[in-house]
Structure 1
């Protein structure tokens, strides 16, 4: 079956032309001009990825992205006419898997869609004989792809999950930013260290009790990050 895309875009011309070109690339695309129109299709859980415009009628694209990620965990690529770097960082921090400023080429969009899909389906890092890692109050179930903190399910994006699993599988080991980019986002994202830092910040917000005293994800100055302590 072809990969399924839901594209939410209020500009009809962009939506129709983009939908037609992605369908030529072999994708199954459903297009909607408002988030309200797309919600029933999103609730079906049949989309492999969502392309989401920043400026939508009735709701902020950021709020829509947060709802999709927290409710379904579906990968999201945000597109927008806004080109400020702060906007890109903000989109990544609330859970978007990628970000594209308008105008964009369809070849690049197609490549980014395939990259995000590969990343979301990539097999997790081997965690040893036990499918569950227990790290103080944090548990990672590598079979269910679930993370729990003090027994409560933590909603993570695919990228956040891969980052956490890579570091938690080797407590105390220092990972460079390049190593973490490769393990969580793939070789196509070399040079996107600032993007990585945004995902790390977002991950910390979800698992660290004290934002000023990190227990799990520690920064190693001028090198990268490590998972603090053994905890096993």
Structure 2
């Protein structure tokens, strides 16, 4: 996915920092959303398809640590903590909460941008299947991503390109819970202008094709309130 298709959410209660970071990232081709407090940040995150969050820790209404916890409950989107807290314990605490990187103020805009690009590359690479061929449940389901071949109990299964992308992402991380927004980004792209519930239709179709009983799935599992994950063994 190209850099200019990535949406970055920048959260900071200092208007000058917010403006500087947003302006610099936009000049590098990113789409940028800004929030001046934690409440606004979570509202934006819920509505927008965000690829990465730059999060200040010291905010008046809600600590950045609390915002990080709230995001981590529903998404594994990369988070860079941006803060004046320079002590080692503060950094360890932030990383322990689920942040992917930690930058102290004052900071270089070029370094921040480089860290963002590195995390986005890593996030994209992580969704490539570790193996191109695999089978589950004693050969009940077989997938060859290199040849785009899927078999159910030995019979060929025809998947749409979007269904194949979704299955690929789920298979790569059997224990990872993907939000609907994350799956939409993978399958439909950032230009998708519909409802995130559209992913449910793809999941329904996938279940019809690869499950013995779509109403009691073994592979495409729903995690209520969060999203979907893969359950094959």
TM exceeding 0.5: yes
Q: What is the CA-CA distance between 1:66 and the residue it aligns to? A: 1.6
Find the aligned partners of 1:132 and 1:105 in 2 and give their Cα distance.
Answer: 48
Q: What stretches of structure 2 of length at least 5 have no aligned partner?
A: 139-166, 179-232
Find the aligned partners of 1:50 and 1:133 in 2 and give their Cα distance.
Answer: 38
Q: What is the CA-CA distance between 1:22 and the residue it aligns to? A: 1.1
For residues 67-116 of structure 1, give each alpha carbon's deviation from its aligned partner in whole angstroms, at most 9, with x where no partner exists.
11221221110011011111111111111111101110000000000000
Q: What stretches of structure 1 of length at least 5 have no aligned partner?
A: 135-140, 156-231
Q: What is the CA-CA distance between 1:59 and the residue it aligns to? A: 1.5
Q: Structure 1 stretches (4+) deviating beyond 4 angstroms?
A: 131-134
Over 3 Å counting, the alpha-carbon distance change for 1:143 and 1:18 in structure 2 is closer
Specify the alignment match of 2:123 in structure 1: 120
Q: What is the CA-CA distance between 1:21 and the residue it aligns to? A: 1.1
TM-score, with normalisation over the residues of structure 1?
0.57
Find the aligned partners of 2:135 and 2:67 in 1 and give their Cα distance.
Answer: 33
Find the aligned partners of 1:83 and 1:125 in 2 and give their Cα distance.
Answer: 37
Specify the alignment match of 2:158 in structure 1: none
Over 3 Å counting, the alpha-carbon distance change for 1:87 and 1:132 in structure 2 is farther
RMSD of the TM alignment (CA)?
A: 2.7
1:16 and 2:28 correspond: no
Over 3 Å counting, the alpha-carbon distance change for 1:23 and 1:87 in structure 2 is same
Contact 1:8/1:52 (<8 A) preserved: yes
Number of residue pairs matched by the alignment: 147
SS in 2 for 1:130: strand
SS in 1 for 2:73: helix
